[in-house]
Amino acid sequence: MPIIDFHNHYYPPKYMQALQSGASSIKVTVDSEGNPVLHYPGDYNVAVRGHRDLAYRQEVLDSHGVSLQVLTLTTPGTHVESPATAVKLASLVNDEFKEAMDTRGHHFTALATLPLNDPAAAVKELDRAIAQLGMRGAMLFSNVNGVALSDRRFWPMYELANDRGAVLYIHPEHPVGVEAMMDYWLMPLVGFLFDTTLAAASLVFSGVVERFPRIRWALCHLGGAIPYLAERLDRGFHAFKDCRAHIQRPPSTYLRDFYYDTVNFNLAALQLAVSFAGPEHILAGSDYPHQIGSIPSMLDAIGRLPVSDDERAGIYGLNAARLLGLTVS
């Protein structure tokens, strides 16, 4: 049974070198164990060995029986840079993702990162990633320096993604209203989930999802609160004229077509997502190698789900393989 980890993160070496060289707005320090630490408002990421060393990472996957990971960048993303720097760094990251696919393709594929603070350049980079680098789509951050993904400046990117039937995977970023989340790690523990929820709801209510129906949308962290709040979004559709201005159907009918990764290892939460979207729309995800991620927890949670063997096989890997057009054995 193939196991495909759809949610995990990789900081390629040349990208890390660029950050540490001073060619970036990101502050990088080094912890007592020699790991680079990337600092950004409200949070920081410790780039442990698994973030940076694919040979080591491959050994970790083999030890857990994971067949393949879908590599993505993670916060803070390239869009926090100046537009010119964002373009250079996004291209650098995607070239290194392609190198990983070419040299270690039995273990890794990737979704592109984009210079989202330059929407025209993001269109070009998405086109290059799909047409030249062989990627199936891209990971988007849930807001771009405070600008919603539903904003019309991003619609040309969605037009291209729609034409290509691309996968667009939404990962949370520095949330709107982050000032209220600076204590107790509330930014990653609460803010990230709310920002994903906000992004998905806005994309639906704004008509983006309806207007571009061939895009395959996926959400991190079990969709934030989407499975839990979908009924309330539908009530808004029926109660408020504004909520019907750009869509023809209740929000849940669009959101059930989204894909949701399993980076919420609570069994009841996973069952709610399966009940909401169907087991064929659930993707295994670990958030490896972040401190809060866990491949064993991913495997254990999926293993305990009360689903059929065929449905479990889909969640472990076959759903992701179909979504990405991968041939697996």
Q: Does the pLDDT at position 254 exceed 80?
A: yes
Q: State whether residue 40 is helix, strand or coil.
A: strand
| Whole-angstrom distance, CA of residue 221 vs CA of residue 226 | 10
Q: Any idea which architecture 4-324 has in CATH?
A: Alpha-Beta Barrel (3.20)
Q: Does the pLDDT at position 278 exceed 90?
A: yes
Single pTM value for the model = 0.96
* Per-residue pLDDT band at 176 (split at 50, 70, 90): confident
Check residue 22 and give its pLDDT.
Answer: 82
Check residue 286 and give its pLDDT.
Answer: 98
Check residue 114 and give its pLDDT.
Answer: 98
The string of pLDDT tens digits covering residues 193-222 is: 999 999 999 999 999 999 999 999 999 999
Instruction: Please state, for a pLDDT cut of 70, what percent of the chain lies above it.
Output: 99
**CA distances from residue 216 to 89, 105, 168, 219 in whole angstroms, order as listed:** 25, 23, 6, 10
Q: Does the pLDDT at position 42 exceed 70?
A: no
Tell me if 193 sits within 8 A of 170, measured CB to CB: no
For the chain, domain boundaries? 4-324
DSSP string spanning 69-135? Answer: EEEE--TT-GGGS-HHHHHHHHHHHHHHHHHHHHHSTTTEEE-B---TTSHHHHHHHHHHHHHTS--
Give 289's DSSP letter: T
Check residue 41 and give its pLDDT.
Answer: 67
Least confident span in 60-74, 81-95, 167-181, 225-239:
167-181
The string of pLDDT tens digits covering residues 288-319 is: 999 999 999 999 999 999 999 999 999 999 99
Can you tell me the mean pLDDT for 92-108?
A: 95
Tell me if 10 sits within 8 A of 71, measured CB to CB: yes
The string of pLDDT tens digits covering residues 126-166 is: 999 999 999 999 999 999 999 999 999 999 999 999 999 99
Can you tell me the mean pLDDT for 236-250?
A: 97
Check residue 133 and give its pLDDT.
Answer: 98
Q: Does the pLDDT at position 329 exceed 70?
A: no
Instruction: Please state, for a pLDDT cut of 90, what percent of the chain lies above it.
Output: 89
| Whole-angstrom distance, CA of residue 148 vs CA of residue 174 | 12
Q: Round the average pLDDT of the chain to a whole number and report it.
A: 95
Strand partners, 72: 9
Q: Does the pLDDT at position 23 exceed 90?
A: no
